[in-house]
């Protein structure tokens, strides 16, 4: 555990926070409080990201109906980075520098998050990232409200390894070719080997975004599974490539009972509007499903349908993560009495929200949430039957203990500051 403690940094941060409360600046000096929305509304990721834009707009609308924030109206500023990873960084800089937003909710893929990260750190702004990811990152400028690998990938594999989950012995790690699948599969490969799985019982495959021809790849999976050991596919395939992937599984006669697929990027939104007959029985691991029954989720679904004016529009896990992040940011702003980034960041630690998942989400000092884990089986109607869940919330690990170089690291941004990724802080108030 490597800690960076600087007395001057502490004094500077306290002074900056007090000054922000005593003499409001930036967004608080404006007529409105601006909130940035950075999600792809076109391109290969629009199938997943558009609904998150709508979720932020719903939260803003609800907040304004209740009187706004700090006595001001909240104004959403929506941009479309169009599934273009470098464009994410350009749009993020515009939101922060030109539009003067107080916070940004956005990104889906890890490559888009990696693209904008230097911008948020340079300009000392806050990003709320609402999607499951590979971990192996710690930034003082990002709050990660989606799942870390120990809140999704690891529990899913543990379930499949159990007798309840099918006693799987051979593993296909199939993903889209970018940082999230590659890093997640690096962690999963190390985890599987730590459980005694032999290298020859692990098959890893990557495909480009938008992959449409799956015939050869599925044939290879089918051949790999013919060794006489129970085989499962762990899918980190992202975006609209999932549709032809599952269709090809069906074309080659592969049923969920034969080779189950557990997906980390297929939820209710991706299933809406497509023929699910090819997917029935396959699995997904998330921290939330629309089919969860509890009063908070009932209210969440009702609010969504009322706002979107379409009772058929589904909810999903990244929507819940967006909901939690927005609620926590609002609470932190009220607690701090300002939208000043340094003050809000400190107020975020320990924030709690009763989540639609049925549990209370808590923001930890590693900028990640404690969340439950659910595994659901796809139904013909595009919803999920929950087949397994944790007893309670699991605290996210930013750094995986299954990667040797990461096991010695910690992510802890408590006061006084601890540097989670061992990089020297760059902000003026730290110097």
Q: Residue 429: what pLDDT?
A: 30
For residue 82, being part of any structural domain is answered with yes
d(CA 27, CA 102): 6
pLDDT tens per residue, range 52-110: 999 999 999 999 999 999 999 999 999 999 999 999 999 999 999 999 999 999 999 99
Instruction: State the pTM of this model.
Output: 0.85
**pLDDT band for position 414 (50/70/90)?**
confident
pLDDT tens per residue, range 103-137: 999 999 999 999 999 999 999 999 999 999 999 99
Residue 419: count other Cβ atoms within 10 Å of its Cβ. Answer: 21
The CATH number linked to 332 is 3.40.50.2300
Q: Residue 415: what pLDDT?
A: 64
CB 117 within 8 A of CB 107: no
For residue 178, being part of any structural domain is answered with no
Q: What is the token pair recorded at 97?
A: 């520098």
Task: Please count the structural domains in the chain.
Answer: 1
Q: Which among 269, 213, 203 has a CA at the least distance from the CA of 235?
A: 203
For residue 240, being part of any structural domain is answered with no
Mean of pLDDT values over 361-366: 96
Q: Which residue has the tokens 């940011």?
A: 329
For residue 192, being part of any structural domain is answered with no
d(CA 349, CA 312): 36
Mean of pLDDT values over 311-325: 96
Identify any residues that bridge with 287 across adjacent strands, giving them in sequence order.
none
371 half-sphere exposure, CB direction, 13 A CA radius:
35
pLDDT tens per residue, range 248-267: 999 999 999 999 999 998 99
CB 15 within 8 A of CB 58: no
Q: Which of 71-80, 235-244, 269-278, 294-303 has the lowest mean pLDDT?
A: 269-278
d(CA 390, CA 155): 9
Q: Residue 180: what pLDDT?
A: 92
For residue 338, being part of any structural domain is answered with yes
Q: Residue 416: what pLDDT?
A: 55
For residue 408, being part of any structural domain is answered with no
Q: Which residue has the tokens 């589904």?
A: 314
**pLDDT band for position 212 (50/70/90)?**
very high
Mean of pLDDT values over 16-39: 63
Mean of pLDDT values over 331-341: 96
Q: What is the 3-state secondary structure (H, E, C) of the chain?
A: CCCCCCHHHHHHHHHHHHHHHHCCCHHHHCCEEEEEEECCCCCCCHHHHHHHHHHHHHHHHHHHHCCCECCEEEEEEEECCCCCHHHHHHHHHHHHHHCCCCEEEECCCHHHHHHHHHHHHHHCCCEEECCCCCCCCCCCCEEECCCCHHHCHHHHHHHHHCCCCCCCCEEEEEEECCHHHHHHHHHHHHHHHHCCCCHHHEEEEEECCCCCCCHHHHHHHHHHHHHCCCEEEEEECCHHHHHHHHHHHHHCCCCCCCCCEEECCCCHHHHCCCCHHHCCCCEEEECCCCCCCCHHHHHHHHHHHHHHCCCCCCCCHHHHHHHHHHHHHHHHHHHHCCCCHHHHHHHHCCCEEECCCCCEEEECCCCEEEECCEEEEECCCCCEEEEEECCCCEECCCCCCCCHHHHCCCCCCCCCCCCCCCCCCCCHHHC
For residue 34, being part of any structural domain is answered with yes
For residue 42, being part of any structural domain is answered with yes
On the question of pLDDT at 9 being above 80, the answer is no
Mean of pLDDT values over 193-216: 96
Structural domain harbouring 365: 7-148+294-374
């Amino acid at each position: 555990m490597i800690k960076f403690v600087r007395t001057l940094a502490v004094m500077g941060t306290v002074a900056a926070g007090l000054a922000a409360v005593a003499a409001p600046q930036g967004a608080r000096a404006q007529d409105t409080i601006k909130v940035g929305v950075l999600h792809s509304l076109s391109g290969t990721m629009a199938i997943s990201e558009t609904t998150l834009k709508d979720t932020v707009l719903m939260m803003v609308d609800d907040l304004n109906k209740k009187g706004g924030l700090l006595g001001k109206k909240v104004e959403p500023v929506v941009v479309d980075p169009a599934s273009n990873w470098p464009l994410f960084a350009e749009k993020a800089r515009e939101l922060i520098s030109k539009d003067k937003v107080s916070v940004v909710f956005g990104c889906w893929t890890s490559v888009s998050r990696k693209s904008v990260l230097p911008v948020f750190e340079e300009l000392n702004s806050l990003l709320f990232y609402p999607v499951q990811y590979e971990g192996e990152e710690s930034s003082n400028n990002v709050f990660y409200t989606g799942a870390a690998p120990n809140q999704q990938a690891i529990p899913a594999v543990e379930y499949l390894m159990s007798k309840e989950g099918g006693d799987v012995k051979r593993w296909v790690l199939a993903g889209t070719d970018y940082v999230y699948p590659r890093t997640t599969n690096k962690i999963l490969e190390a985890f599987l080997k730590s459980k005694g799985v032999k290298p020859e019982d692990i098959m890893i495959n990557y495909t480009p975004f938008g992959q449409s021809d799956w015939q050869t790849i599925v044939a290879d999976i089918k051949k790999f599974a013919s060794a006489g050991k129970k085989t499962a596919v762990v899918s980190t395939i992202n975006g609209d490539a999932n549709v032809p992937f599952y269709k090809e599984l069906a074309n080659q006669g592969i049923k969920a009972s034969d080779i189950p697929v557990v997906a980390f990027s297929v939820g209710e939104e991706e299933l809406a509007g497509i023929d699910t007959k090819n997917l029935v029985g396959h699995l997904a691991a998330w921290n939330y499903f629309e089919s969860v029954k509890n009063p908070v989720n009932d209210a969440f679904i009702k609010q969504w349908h009322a706002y979107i004016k379409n009772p058929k529009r589904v909810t999903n896990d990244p929507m819940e993560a967006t909901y939690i992040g927005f609620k926590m940011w609002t609470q932190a702003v009220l607690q701090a009495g300002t939208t000043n980034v340094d003050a809000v960041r400190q107020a975020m630690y320990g924030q709690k929200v009763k989540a639609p998942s049925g549990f209370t989400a808590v923001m930890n000092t590693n900028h990640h949430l404690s969340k439950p884990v659910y595994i659901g089986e796809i139904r013909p109607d595009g919803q999920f039957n929950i087949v397994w869940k944790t007893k309670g919330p699991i605290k996210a690990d930013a750094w995986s203990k299954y990667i040797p170089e990461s096991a010695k690291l910690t992510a802890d941004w408590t006061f006084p500051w601890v540097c989670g990724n061992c990089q020297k802080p760059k902000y003026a108030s730290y110097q």
